[in-house]
C-alpha cells in the first residue's frame, strides 16, 4: 500500500521524562487501494530517536482501553496499600 499523501489533522504530545516523549497524531491519508481514511500514529521519541507506529482506529481504541484498565488496576492496588498504612485518613492522592 503506497501512501501518496497524508496530512496531520490533530496532534498531541506528552513528555514522559527527560528526552522521552510520546506524540499522538490523527492523520488523513490517500491510499492506492482505498479512498480517504483517517488513522492514528503513535510516535515514541527517546534521545532523538523516533519510532512511529501507525494504527487504525480499532487498534488505537483497543490500546486506549487496555491502558485505562491498567491505570484503574494500579490505582486499586495503591489505594489498598495506602488504606492499610493510613486507616484513619479520609482521602488519598495517586500519582
How many domains would you assign to the chain? 2
Q: What pLDDT was estimated at residue 4?
A: 52
Q: Quick one: 51 and 66 in the same domain?
A: no
**Which residue range forms the structural domain that includes residue 20?**
1-55
Query: Are residues 4 and 40 located together in one domain of the fold?
Result: yes
Residue 95 counted as domain residue? no
Answer yes or no: is 22 within a domain: yes
Cell numbers for 31: 491510499
- Considering the domain architecture, whether residues 33 and 3 belong to the same structural domain is answered as yes
Distance between CA atoms of residues 30 and 38, nearest Å: 9
Task: Judge whether residue 16 has pLDDT over 60.
Answer: yes
In this structure, the answer to whether residues 5 and 46 fall within a common structural domain is yes
**What distance in Å separates the CA atoms of residue 37 and residue 24, rounded to the nearest whole number?**
17
Rounded CA separation 60/24 (Å)? 10
**Confidence band (pLDDT; 50, 70, 90) for 50?**
very high
Same domain, 23 and 50: yes
Residue at 23 is within a domain: yes
* pLDDT (tens digit per residue) in 55-66: 988 899 999 999
Question: Is the predicted pLDDT of residue 74 greater than 90, yes or no?
Answer: yes
Burial 59-84 (b: 16+ CB within 10 A, else e): ebeeeeeeeeeeeeeeeeeeeeeeee
**Per-residue pLDDT at 37:** 84
Amino acid at each position: 500500500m503506497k501512501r501518496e499523501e497524508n496530512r496531520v489533522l490533530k496532534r498531541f504530545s506528552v513528555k514522559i521524562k527527560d528526552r522521552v516523549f510520546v506524540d499522538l497524531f490523527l492523520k488523513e491519508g490517500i491510499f492506492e487501494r482505498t479512498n480517504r481514511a483517517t488513522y492514528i500514529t503513535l510516535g515514541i521519541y527517546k534521545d532523538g530517536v523516533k519510532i512511529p507506529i501507525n494504527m487504525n482506529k480499532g487498534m488505537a481504541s483497543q490500546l486506549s482501553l487496555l491502558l485505562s484498565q491498567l491505570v484503574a488496576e494500579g490505582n486499586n492496588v495503591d489505594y489498598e496499600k495506602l488504606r492499610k498504612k493510613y486507616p484513619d485518613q479520609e482521602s488519598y492522592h495517586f500519582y
